[in-house]
């Protein structure tokens, strides 16, 4: 409703006209309004909302917000790990569908929500020109990676970890909440696993940037897959599972990239400050290695 009011003020239209356009995908203004709402949601709810929260609560209590430099080789290792994990993610998508029984009450409840979400996603991603593609790369690919990582890995994850006195609890519970927030339950499991990986990237590297990079890699790949293939990445295989050799190759490349990502883990030196409401102003240049 608030978004409709703002759009009505900016465009000089009535609130009723804006909401009517949103309720009709055939309306000529539908996609424009949907894109504006998408941008407003990312900038307002996540980036501005997180900034306001940190201003009120105080950054000293949220040391997960670690926009620090990280080793140069991670600029390559992190995207490679995300892309190599693609076949495994596809497998998790298929498994996620299997655990929602056909004809069950759970399917009757979730399927309409999934269909609506897919229709909105398809409307936004199914573009055939550069200006809307640029919009999608920015507001669906990059900006959500920044805003959502600040909110979920920068704020929520350390809060849960400290409350439960367990970093793994913080990572996995914030990943669960992150996946639930998207309200697309046929992709709930792979999204949660990816979010947990983002969480571990933060504590291994001592920076939020690698998680942002991994998240943006996933989003940008989805945008480009839609632009060039007309399908989301996990639909590229159709109804079949990835072949065994593709799955195996992806796992090998992912584990190799993971080795480089974790080899200089700063968690052992970061842990006491991260878990005790303090901001680690410096991450030592030659950190002790941590065994997870």
Q: What is the reported pLDDT for 288?
A: 42
Q: What is the reported pLDDT for 83?
A: 94
Q: Examine the pLDDT at 126 and tell me if it is beyond 80.
A: yes
pLDDT digits (tens, 9 = 90+) for 235-273: 555 556 677 888 899 999 999 999 999 998 999 988 888
pLDDT digits (tens, 9 = 90+) for 21-76: 455 555 556 677 777 777 887 888 888 888 888 888 765 555 556 778 888 999 99
pLDDT digits (tens, 9 = 90+) for 156-197: 999 999 999 999 999 999 999 999 998 889 899 999 999 999
Comparing 138 with 232, which gets the higher pLDDT?
138
pTM: 0.84
b/e map 133-160, b = 16+ CB within 10 Å: bebbbebbbbbbbbbbbbbbbbbbbbbb
Rounded CA-CA distance 102/186 in Å is 12
Report the mean per-residue pLDDT for the chain.
81
Q: Which of 3-7, 109-113, 176-180, 237-241 has the lowest mean pLDDT?
A: 3-7
DSSP 154: I
Q: What is the reported pLDDT for 290?
A: 44
Rounded CA-CA distance 290/275 in Å is 16
Q: Where are the alpha helices (DSSP H) in the chain?
A: 2-11, 15-22, 30-40, 49-57, 74-84, 86-98, 105-125, 130-136, 143-148, 157-164, 167-181, 188-205, 209-229, 244-262, 267-274
3 state SS of 10: helix
Which 3-state string (H, E, C) describes 53-121? HHHHHCHHHCCCCCCCCCCCCHHHHHHHHHHHCHHHHHHHHHHHHHCCCCCCHHHHHHHHHHHHHHHHH
Rounded CA-CA distance 284/206 in Å is 10
- The angle subtended at Cα 65 by Cα 61 and Cα 68, nearest 5°, is 130
Q: Examine the pLDDT at 16 and tell me if it is beyond 60.
A: no
Delimit the domains of the chain by residue range.
Answer: 1-57, 59-274
Rounded CA-CA distance 27/20 in Å is 9
Q: What is the reported pLDDT for 138?
A: 92
pLDDT confidence tier of residue 198, bands split at 50, 70 and 90:
very high
């Amino acid at each position: 409703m608030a978004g409709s009011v703002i759009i009505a003020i900016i465009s000089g239209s009535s609130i009723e006209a804006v909401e009517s356009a949103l309720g009709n995908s055939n309306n000529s203004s539908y996609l424009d309004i949907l894109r504006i709402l998408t941008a407003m949601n990312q900038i307002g709810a996540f980036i501005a909302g997180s900034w306001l929260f940190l201003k009120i609560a105080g950054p000293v209590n949220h040391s997960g917000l670690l926009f620090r430099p990280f080793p140069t080789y991670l600029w390559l290792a992190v995207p490679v790990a995300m892309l190599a994990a693609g076949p495994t993610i596809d497998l998790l998508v298929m498994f996620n569908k299997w655990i929602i029984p056909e004809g069950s009450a759970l399917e009757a409840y979730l399927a309409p929500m999934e269909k609506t979400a897919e229709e909105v996603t398809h409307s936004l991603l199914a573009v055939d020109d550069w200006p809307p593609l640029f919009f999608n790369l920015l507001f669906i690919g990059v900006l959500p990676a920044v805003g959502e990582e600040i909110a979920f890995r920068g704020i929520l994850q350390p809060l849960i970890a400290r409350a439960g006195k367990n970093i793994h609890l913080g990572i996995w519970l914030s990943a669960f909440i992150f996946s639930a927030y998207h309200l697309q339950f046929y992709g709930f499991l792979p999204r949660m696993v990816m979010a947990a990986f983002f969480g571990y990237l933060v504590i291994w590297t001592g920076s939020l940037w690698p998680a942002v990079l991994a998240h943006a890699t996933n989003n940008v790949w989805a945008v480009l897959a839609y632009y060039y293939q007309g399908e989301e990445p996990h639909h590229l295989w159709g109804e079949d599972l990835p072949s065994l050799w593709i799955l195996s190759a992806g796992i090998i490349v992912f584990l190799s990239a993971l080795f480089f990502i974790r080899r200089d883990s700063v968690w052992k030196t970061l842990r006491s400050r991260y878990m005790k409401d303090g901001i680690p102003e410096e991450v030592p240049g030659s950190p002790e290695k941590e065994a997870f």
